Structure 1
Amino acid sequence: MLHHLSLGVSDIARAATFYDAALAALGYHRVWSDIRPGEPDQAIGYGPPGGGDKLALKHLGDAASAPGPGFHIAFAAPDRQSVDAFHKAALSAGGTDNGAPGLRRHYGPTYYAAFVIDPDGHRLEAVFKGAA
């Protein structure tokens, strides 16, 4: 259904550092980049290797604000180890813990996920729903 999502960020370089690390743990990469320090309308895009962007980050400076409660983005992980790596990388790159890796049986018997908040306040999840 969705082609891609775009999020506004206050500092594109800081966001790039965070998302480069966190998404690499899930096998996603920066697929395009338009970073021109000091200029307006900077952006970067992330997606699977060899594919187009599924997530775009747009530099908005002070106008950036995260959506309110109830909104989050869940990224598909290839396995539980990738969920763990996402959580660790996100925290190391400036994110905030919002739920350590583990089973969330109230979502399903094999629902393994971790939750973080990026430096701009966007709520993120990495999830794997397969068997251990």
Structure 2
Amino acid sequence: MFHHVSIGVADLERARKFYDAALEPLGYTRLSTSDRWLGYGAEDPKLWIKLAERPVVPDMESGLHFCFVAGSEESVRAFHANATANGGTDNGEPGVRPEYASFYYAAFVIDPDGYRLEAFFHRPE
């Protein structure tokens, strides 16, 4: 459905450090770089991080979050560890989420600008 998603951040270098580390275990890398934006993806940039004068104000009650597909439980754990070690905040440790489904293995973090992120792996049943 989506071709790409763009988010605005206050500090591009801080975002670069966070997203380089957090997305690497999921198989996503920085594919585009300038002094105003960063583009991440597996083959083509699908997530654009842009320097913004007025980034969206973090709102934990807004319901907004972005979920990344992970290839394994280990990559979900590494996403969470890398994210929290590089400026992110824990918002749900890695594990099965039976309230969603028995196959739903995920971890949740908040990036340095307040965006809520998730890494999800569909466990074999």
Q: Same fold (TM over 0.5)?
A: yes
- Alpha-carbon distance, 1:65 to partner: 2.1
Instruction: Provide the C-alpha distance between the structure 2 equivalents of 1:125 and 1:109, rounded to a whole number of angstroms.
Output: 17
- Name 1:58's counterpart in structure 2: 50
Aligned residues: 123
Q: Does the C-alpha gap of structure 1 residues 76 and 9 become closer, same or farther in structure 2, counting only changes over 3 Å?
A: same
**What do the CA deviations read for 1:104-132 (whole angstroms, capped 9, x no partner)?**
01111110000000000000000001228
Runs of 4+ in 1 over 3 A off after TM superposition: none
Instruction: Provide the C-alpha distance between the structure 2 equivalents of 1:104 and 1:130, rounded to a whole number of angstroms.
Output: 11
Q: Does the C-alpha gap of structure 1 residues 67 and 5 become closer, same or farther in structure 2, counting only changes over 3 Å?
A: farther
- Name 2:31's counterpart in structure 1: 31
Gaps of 5+ in 1: 36-41
Q: Does the C-alpha gap of structure 1 residues 74 and 108 become closer, same or farther in structure 2, counting only changes over 3 Å?
A: same
- Name 1:96's counterpart in structure 2: 89
- Name 1:10's counterpart in structure 2: 10
- Alpha-carbon distance, 1:47 to partner: 0.1
- Alpha-carbon distance, 1:67 to partner: 5.6
Instruction: Provide the C-alpha distance between the structure 2 equivalents of 1:34 and 1:115, rounded to a whole number of angstroms.
Output: 28
- Name 1:39's counterpart in structure 2: none
Instruction: Provide the C-alpha distance between the structure 1 equivalents of 2:6 and 2:58, rounded to a whole number of angstroms.
Output: 12
**TM-score under structure 2 length normalisation:** 0.94
Instruction: Provide the C-alpha distance between the structure 2 equivalents of 1:131 and 1:111, rounded to a whole number of angstroms.
Output: 10
Instruction: Provide the C-alpha distance between the structure 1 equivalents of 2:82 and 2:94, rounded to a whole number of angstroms.
Output: 12
- Name 1:47's counterpart in structure 2: 41
**TM-score under structure 1 length normalisation:** 0.89
Letter in 1 for 2:83: A
Contact 1:33 1:43 in 2 (8 A): yes
Q: Does the C-alpha gap of structure 1 residues 5 and 67 become closer, same or farther in structure 2, counting only changes over 3 Å?
A: farther
Contact 1:66 1:122 in 2 (8 A): no
Gaps of 5+ in 2: none
Instruction: Provide the C-alpha distance between the structure 2 equivalents of 1:66 and 1:75, rounded to a whole number of angstroms.
Output: 22
- Alpha-carbon distance, 1:64 to partner: 1.2
Note if 1:87 corresponds to 2:80.
yes
